[in-house]
Every structure is written in structure tokens, then in C-alpha cells.
Chains A and B, each alone.
Chain A
Amino acid sequence: MMARRAAVLLPPWLWLLFLVAAPVAVLLAIALAAPGDGVPPVSPPFRWEGGRPVWQGGEALEVLREEGWHLAAFLRSFRTAILTALACLLLAYPMALGIARARPERRTLLLALVLLPFWTGFLPRVGAWIGLLRDGGWVNGVLMGLGLVESPVPLLYTDGALLLGMVHAYLPFAVLPLVAALTRLDPSLEEAAADLGASPAAAFRTVVLPLTLPGAAAGFLLVFIPAMGEVVIPELLGPPEARLVGRVLWEEFFRNRDWPLAAAVAVLLLLVLIPPIRLFQRLEAR
């Protein structure tokens, strides 16, 4: 019995220690290390001088504190992620309501329609927005055809395009927990409110909305957490000067080859995300 247990536990334990725990430990170590000229371009945080270790690391943390634009990137990411998550909730709520109130045999099909876009390739979907939004693109063509604008308006590489792409990519994440919350809801509660004279809107506001709030919070966090670190959509749809955390990390690493700084940005992102992650796990455990 014990031997069988160990045989089941050992492979995943080893895998998780080597490929989840160890990488995070290395990340922390390199965030404290000093930049160097070698391959890899880091030097240990201690230097030996006259037989005594001398601290030389921690430079990346100093840079983060002194150069405001890294922190500005965090603020900008935070704003973008909040806006994305709110927009997703706003769109997802009526969608989830529609699915939860469909006949049960149609629910699976409707849910599949929400989820299937996930399986159609993330990059081709973002690519479609590039083609649709560009100056001579499809959307501008329609706008001009309708006589709404006279010359093409710049749509691509704007904050609007960034938000549109983010909401499009993350919307299904917000729908799922809301559908789960709404289908769990006892319909007789709403009927009771109606019997007591509440209008449908009032019953929704006072009964359905408060009871599905945890589901809404889970949906919000499920969008917010990955949106904070998103790197591909801002790169392809957003304005070139918009520096978001993911992009800053990417550029410090690949372009400037400043590994300690990139690692420090990653560690800071991790710290910022721990409270929402804990909150999400608590909501899930309910």
C-alpha cells in the first residue's frame, strides 16, 4: 500500500519540484543578482574581496525603485486589466443569463459556442483584428460605406484596439463561472420574490445579483489575473508607446539583456498577483 502510494506520488513530486519550485527559486535568486557581461549575463550577488564576501547585488531592485517608468507600466497594466475584466463581466452577465435560462438540452451547445473560439487559434484570432482594424481595413470600409466617417480613422495600434482584443480573448473566462453560479441558483427564490410583488428587474437586482456575486468575482479575477501579464495582444494591437508589464519584462530580457531587471519585474508582478490569486482560490474552495 505505502509502496504503491510512493510510486504514484514520486513522479509528479519530482516534476513539480524541478519544473515549478526550482524555477521560481532561480527567478528570485537572479532578481537579486548583479548584471554581468558573460553568458548568462549575470554575476552572483556576492563578490569575494580579500577573503570576505562583499554584497554587490540588488541593483535591479534599486533600478525599479528609482526609474519610475517600470512602476508606471505596472499602473498601466493594472488599469488595462481592470477595464478588460469589467468589460468582460458586463458582456458575460447577460450571456450567462441567456445560457442558464436556455432549455437544458441546448445549454451544452451554447456553452460549446462560447468555448469553441478558444480552440480556433489565439494568434489567428488576434491577426483577424489586425486585418479588420487597419486603416484600409474592413471596419473602416464599413464605416465609410455607411457614411459615418469620410476618411479612414486610425483604429489599429490604439488603446481601443488593445481593449477590444483583450476582451475578445478573455470573454469566455468570465462567462464560465457565471453560468455555474446562475445554474446553481434555485429558481424558486426568484419566483418567491415575484410572488411577493417584485418586478422582474427588482427581483433580479435584489435576489439574483447578490447571490451570483461570488461567481461574478471569480469571473472578474479569472480575466484580471492573466490580463495583468498579457504580452502578445498589447504587442500586436496596442499603441507602440504603451508600456505594459509583460512588454517591459519581455524587452528588458530580450532586447536589453538585463536578466536581473527582467527577473525583478517578474517577481514584483508575482507579488502584486498573490492577493487576487488567493482571493480566487478562496472563492473556488467555497
Chain B
Amino acid sequence: MKAGRRFSSGRWGLALGLGFLWAPILLLAVYAFSADRIPFQWGGFSLRWFRSLAANERMLEAAWLSVRVAAGAATLAVLLGGMAGWALARFGRFRGRALFGALAGAPLVLPEVVTGLSLLLLFVSAQAALEAFFGWQADRGAFTVLLAHATLGLAYAAVLVQARLATLDRSLEEAAADLGAGPFTVFRTVTLPLIAPALAAAWLLAFTLSLDDVVLASFVSGPAGTTLPMLVFSALRVGVTPEVNAIGVLFLLLAGLAAAGWWALLGRHAGRAPGA
């Protein structure tokens, strides 16, 4: 047998690696339902940590702020990143392309602490300028976090859209144009549906990156902009609380739902047979 003659430590290695990746997550999910005050100690089944989470005003407020910031940042990221990816894939060698590409890719490779610090220093300088010239005292907060997260998301969206456009069959668009469709109609009826999965993936990715980020937010936020991860981080600094496990379970649930939805979306898309 061919397969038998191939080096096959893969299966065990895969099981080991997946076990390592998932063990703490599964334990977290189980012990989130434990009544015991001490985390990862079984004290009988209970929903008390979910109830205490639901009663925690500060947590809820921060979570709602995080969701709004993430949704706004993801939307901006898809719009701007989509344009950037389009330019990189379709405009050939436009003037300044190398710089444009480097700037669009920079947030992907820069360490978070460097991005966070440099954005904060910019915001502080901008605040000083606004006050000096217009007498306007701008505060840092949710808005500056949104700008930072949109910048990070833009970079991912540009890569995804550019990659999707690169594999696209141009003849589909040409056919539509030959049949008399104007450029905007071609874009709306042919190109947009074809790159929609990449746009959706970019939105989802930017949304989760924003919802998960603590470093950028800690740097650029202000007194009125405490996001959920910032709150969780300060809780973890003094030791884990079972409430954090409950948050983990909620994240897991959301991730599972998103994955299932994604699966359904992709499945339907594949069923339509590209090019048919």
C-alpha cells in the first residue's frame, strides 16, 4: 500500500497537538458551571457565575461598548481594506504602490506594543494640536480604540480581498461588459457577489480581533473607554475569577455559532458551483 510506505507520525502528532490546544478550553468550559468559588474546583453544577456576570453592571457596560466598537471598526476595516485590496490587485503599478502596500501590511507584522504606543503618541499630539488651534478639548476613549482597531482590521481585509481578486476569473466580468453592462453594474452584479465571502470573512476577522484586543485598547483608550478585555485583564492580574470562565464559555458559544454559520454560507456558495 502506498499510504503504508509513507512516514506517518502525523496522526498521533495531530491528536497530541489538538489535545494540547483544546484541553484548557474544555476544562474552562466544564468548570464554568461549577458552583465553587475557587476556579477549576468542582462544587456541583451551578449557573451562579453566569448569573453574577449578568448582574455585573460594569462588565455588561464594557461588553456593550466592546461590541459597538468592534462592529464599527470591522465595518470601516472592510470598506477601506476592500478599497486597498482592490487597488493592490487591479490597479497595476500605480504611483506610490510600494509605499501603499507596505503601509497596508505594516499593522500585520508590527508588534502590538509598537502599534499601540505609536498610535497613542499620535492621538496625544493630535489632541494637543486641536486644543491649540481650535480650543477643542478632545478626549480619548471608545473613538480612538475604534480608529486603532479599524487600522488593524484594514490590513487583514486588504490581504483577504486582494487574494480573492487574484484568483477571480476575469472573463466573467468581461462577459458581463460584452453583454452591455456598465462598469458599476458589472461590479454590483458580478464582482461583488464573487468577493462577498472574502468581505464577510474580513468583517468577522476584524470584529473578533477588536473584541479580543487588550494591548491596543489599553494604550489608546481614555477614562471613558474601558472595553471588556481591559476589564478582564485587570481581573486576571489579581488572579482568575470564575466569571472569566463564564465569559470564555460565551465566547466559545459565539465562535461555534459563527463557525457553523460560516460553514453554511460556504457550503451554499460551493453548491452554486463557481463559473456555472
Check A19–B111 contact: CB distance below 8 A: no
Cα A121 to Cα B247 in complex, Å, equals 9
Which secondary structure characterizes the binding site on chain B?
helix
Cα A131 to Cα B111 in complex, Å, equals 27
CB neighbours (8 Å) of B91 from chain A are 5, 8-9
- Stretch of B47-55, B169-177, B250-258 with 4 or more beta carbons under 8 angstroms from chain A: B250-258
Check A203–B215 contact: CB distance below 8 A: no
Q: Is A147 in the interface zone, CB < 8 Å from B?
A: no
- Given A119-B255, A236-B236: A266 in contact with B245 (beta carbons within 8 A): no
Check B154–A12 contact: CB distance below 8 A: yes
Check A26–B125 contact: CB distance below 8 A: yes
CB neighbours (8 Å) of B259 from chain A are 112, 116, 119
Check A204–B125 contact: CB distance below 8 A: no
Which secondary structure characterizes the binding site on chain A?
helix
Q: Smallest CB–CB gap between B253 and chain A, Å? A: 9
Check B122–A26 contact: CB distance below 8 A: yes
- Given A16-B103, A132-B24, A269-B114: A113 in contact with B18 (beta carbons within 8 A): yes
Q: Is A93 in the interface zone, CB < 8 Å from B?
A: yes
**In which size bucket is the chain B interface?**
35 or more
Interface size on A, residues (CB 8 A): 93
Check A125–B111 contact: CB distance below 8 A: no
Within 8 A of B (CB), among A4-30: 4-5, 8-9, 11-13, 15-17, 19-24, 26-27, 30
- Given A20-B103, A97-B13, A236-B237: A200 in contact with B21 (beta carbons within 8 A): no
- Given A5-B91, A117-B25, A249-B113: A91 in contact with B247 (beta carbons within 8 A): no
Which positions in A face B, CB cutoff 8 Å?
4-5, 8-9, 11-13, 15-17, 19-24, 26-27, 30, 40, 91-101, 110, 112-114, 116-132, 134, 136-138, 168, 171-172, 175, 187, 190-191, 194, 200-201, 203-204, 208, 225-226, 228-232, 235-236, 245-246, 249-250, 253, 259, 262-263, 266, 269-270, 273, 277, 280-281
Can you list 20 pairs linking A and B with CB atoms under 8 Å apart?
Answer: A5-B87, A8-B87, A15-B151, A19-B151, A20-B104, A27-B114, A91-B16, A91-B17, A94-B13, A98-B17, A120-B252, A124-B232, A134-B239, A172-B21, A187-B6, A200-B7, A249-B113, A253-B117, A280-B109, A281-B109
Nearest 6 interchain pairs by C-beta: A94-B13, A229-B111, A98-B14, A124-B248, A97-B10, A98-B10
Which positions in B face A, CB cutoff 8 Å?
2-3, 5-18, 20-22, 24-25, 27-28, 31, 38-40, 79-81, 83-84, 86-87, 91, 94, 96, 100, 103-107, 109-115, 117-119, 121-122, 124-125, 128, 147-148, 150-151, 154, 158, 183, 208, 212, 214-215, 229, 232-233, 236-237, 239-240, 244-245, 247-248, 251-252, 254-256, 258-259
